[in-house]
Amino acid sequence: MERTQENGTLRLADVGKRVHLVGWIANRRILGGIAFLDLRDRSGIVQLLVRDINAIPDVRNEYVVSVAGVVRAKENPNPKLATGEIEVEVERLEVLSKAITTPFIIADETDALEDTRLQYRYLDLRRPILQKRLRTRAQLMRITREYFDGEGFTEIETPILNLATPEGARDYLVPSRVKNGSFYALPQSPQLFKQLLMIGGIERYYQIAKCFRDEDLRADRQPEFTQIDVETSFLDQDQILTLCEGLLKRYFKEILNIEIETPLRRLNYWDAMETYGSDKPDTRFDLKLVDVAETMKKSSFEAFQSTPYIRALVVPHYAEKATRKVLDELTAEARKFRLRGLTALKYVNGALEGSFLKFMDEAVRQELIAKLNLSDGDYVLIAAHAERRPVCFGLGALRTRLAKELNLIPENSYDLLWVVNFPMFDPVDDQPGVYSAEHHPFTRPRDEDLQYLDSDPERVLAYAYDIVINGYEAGGGTLRIYDHDTQWKIFRLLGLSEEDVARKFGWFVDAFQYGVPPHGGFALGLDRLTMIFTGTDNIRDVIAFPKNLQATDPMSHAPMPVGKEALDAVGIEVKKN
């Protein structure tokens, strides 16, 4: 029986049409001798009317069936269903495949545990909401290819098996059978190869690339992820950001029918940190950090006298809710960012309240009230540290947590911005004068900051930029170093010897001797973009076959031990922890 159309496409205009449909039985209701069956395929659900239940084979939920019938108008339409105004009166029904009872209900709303859904992912994929998310992912990929093809880019695949690259996370290693004792590394990104493509004169490259990082997982991370990778030659930072904005405009228009205004606003890294406590700030709500160092140093609290970074976060109308238990929870969160504790104050009936007031005379109290522009019922959290990052990141995390709790974030809204001018270096904790690369060792310092490389590396900013959407780092990139001498100066500042460089990426640095064009690029996280466009905060919702938080696949049970014969072939002996 040949299918004539998909179930979810039937409408009132089809009344009287004879159709052949296929799909899964999503639900059945027997009323006397009459049966109502919901038939689901990838396009949606349509109701089947069987006037004589004895005239068709026995069917159960998730049976695969083929149906012939006539489209009729419903006497009682269902406005919640796209096909709710019609039903198909069945003339013939054939069971193509039977099904046992499923371990959970196949519907958008399900109470099944995530690991159960991942164990039976092939059943989970039948849920319409999951299929919609995967179609949005495919739409993003289609738009990407159309856009870059139209801009004269060449899509090029880079190697999956390669040497380890300095990306900051642990590599997944692949043993070599033909060269025992040696290993490939799966790419954390195509970083070095896309730069070599620029040296090779390609000028405009893009790729939808698989990347791998062996790192601790969370709601928006997977060990195997996909990025939209772009590299160009002879474009400056403004031109690259404009190129990316053009793609984002296409995404929002074609997927959500939303016109975004460009150019997007740009926020300097330290302004973002000082104002919002994050390098990926969600600015859809207005809670901001305030510098209160000068005021708090006037208190008699000795620890504040020599602390350079003291910031406050005002939470409006939260004083009544902020119990001791709440403060303990917020303090525990702050400690994750190396903050020893929080100072908490309430502003009630025109006066401050809190145990810290014993360190503040009336003049200091009034100065703080004016500085923070407090209103009745406000709650004040104050953090202090000898370094700027812990204070900013700590209060920034509390800012986001409290905004969600207080429903301060408007629904169905989108906020896009660039964070630019990142620091070139990140000081290593408790090791003065030791630095790691904020992005990677090939990031280009700003021209005006080259003079500080020797004298004050922490002052050096980079041509580095992140695109932030609703508080998610949706992507980012940098201009790359193309000068041999500057590259080696950066290597030395990062503590890399000539031997280190030769061992890690000497093959890459050798290419710099043969004429390197000015180049730069960006990468967008396809998984995170799909999360944003489908309204989920769980990356596993937008990947067909994801891993769980333990980086395992409950369906296939990967990873699994392998036999001795396979290990011997690659010269590996497993040592159990």
Q: What is the pLDDT of residue 219?
A: 75
CB neighbour list of residue 194: distance below 8 Å, 6 or more residues apart: 158, 205, 207, 229, 231, 521
Cβ-based neighbour number of residue 92 at 10 Å: 12
Residue 501 scores a pLDDT above 90: no
Alpha-carbon gap, residue 474 to 225, rounded angstroms: 13
- The whole-angstrom separation of Cα 446 and Cα 464 is 9
| Per-residue pLDDT, 478 | 97
* CA–CA gap between residue 516 and residue 112 (Å, rounded): 54
Pairwise CA distance, residues 38 & 46, whole Å? 6
CATH 2.40.50.140 for domain 7-97, yes or no, is yes
pLDDT digits (tens, 9 = 90+) for 403-435: 999 999 998 899 999 999 999 998 877 677 788
In this prediction, residue 168 has a pLDDT band, given cuts at 50, 70 and 90, of low
pLDDT higher at 431 or 16: 16
Of 60-64, 358-362, 461-465, 492-496, which range is least confident?
Answer: 492-496
3-state secondary structure 12-72: HHHCCCEEEEEEEEEEEEEECCEEEEEEEECCEEEEEEECCHHHCCCCCCCCEEEEEEEEE
- Among residues 209, 191, 172, 225, the alpha carbon closest in space to that of 505 is found at 191
Q: From residue 470, how far is each of 130, 203, 467 by CA, in Å? A: 22, 32, 10
Q: What is the mean pLDDT of residues 458-478?
A: 96
Q: Where are the alpha helices (DSSP H) in 209-361?
A: 237-251, 269-276, 293-296, 302-305, 324-335
pLDDT band at 440 (very low <50, low <70, confident <90, very high): confident
Q: How many CB atoms lie within 10 A of CB 54?
A: 8
The domain 285-405 having CATH identifier 3.30.1360.30: the answer here is yes
* Separation CA 174–CA 255 (nearest Å): 38
**E strand or H helix that includes residue 228:** strand 224-233
**In the structure, what pLDDT confidence band is assigned to residue 166 with cuts at 50, 70 and 90?**
low
Residue 72 CB: number of other CB atoms within 10 A? 15
Residue intervals in the chain for CATH 3.30.930.10: 136-267+416-564
By three-state DSSP, how is residue 182 classified? coil
Average pLDDT, the chain: 94
- Copy the structure tokens of residue 381: 């959290």
Give the closest residue to 152 by CA, choosing from 235, 85, 72, 217.
235
Give tens-digit pLDDT for 293-304: 999 999 999 999
Contact 460, 424 (CB under 8 A): yes
- How far is 157 from 126, CA to CA, in rounded Å? 32
pLDDT band at 555 (very low <50, low <70, confident <90, very high): very high
Rounded CA-CA distance 246/243 in Å is 5
Q: Residue type at 522?
A: F
- Is the pLDDT reported for residue 532 higher than 90? yes
Give the other-Cβ count within 10 Å of 335's Cβ: 14
- pLDDT (average), residues 545-560: 94
Average pLDDT of the segment spanning 193-201: 97
Judge whether residue 1 has pLDDT over 70.
Answer: no
Write the CA distances from 156 to 163, 185, 211, 376, integer angstroms.
19, 20, 15, 60
Which range has the worst mean pLDDT, 156-170, 233-247, 359-373?
156-170
The residue whose two tokens read 């238990």 is 325
pLDDT value at position 246?
98
The DSSP secondary-structure symbol of 555 reads T
pLDDT in tens, 380-389: 999 999 999 9
For CA atoms 243, 246, 250, 251, give the dihedral sign.
positive
Residue 402 has pLDDT above 80, yes or no: yes
How much is the pLDDT for 412? 87
Pairing, β 425-427 against β 435-437: antiparallel
pLDDT at 161 over 90: yes
Cβ contact 422:464 at 8 Å: yes
Bridge pairing between strands 416-420 and 435-437: unpaired
pLDDT digits (tens, 9 = 90+) for 201-258: 999 999 999 999 998 877 778 999 999 999 999 999 999 999 999 999 999 999 999 9
Q: What percent of the chain has pLDDT over 70?
A: 99
pLDDT at 350: 93
Q: Count CB neighbours of 34 within 10 A.
A: 12
- Report CA Rg, the chain: 29
Residues of the chain with CATH 2.40.50.140: 7-97
Q: How many helices (H) and strands (E) does the chain have?
A: 15, 22
* Residue ranges of the chain assigned to CATH 3.30.1360.30: 285-405
165-169, 284-288, 343-347: segment of lowest average pLDDT: 165-169
Q: Assign 94 a pLDDT band (cuts: 50, 70, 90).
A: very high
Q: Could you give the residue ranges of the DSSP H alpha helices within 406-446?
A: none
Q: Which CATH entry fits the domain spanning 136-267+416-564: 1.20.950.20, 3.30.930.10, 1.10.1370.30, 2.40.30.10?
A: 3.30.930.10
- What mean pLDDT is predicted for residues 96-113? 94
User: Quick one: pLDDT at residue 504?
Assistant: 81
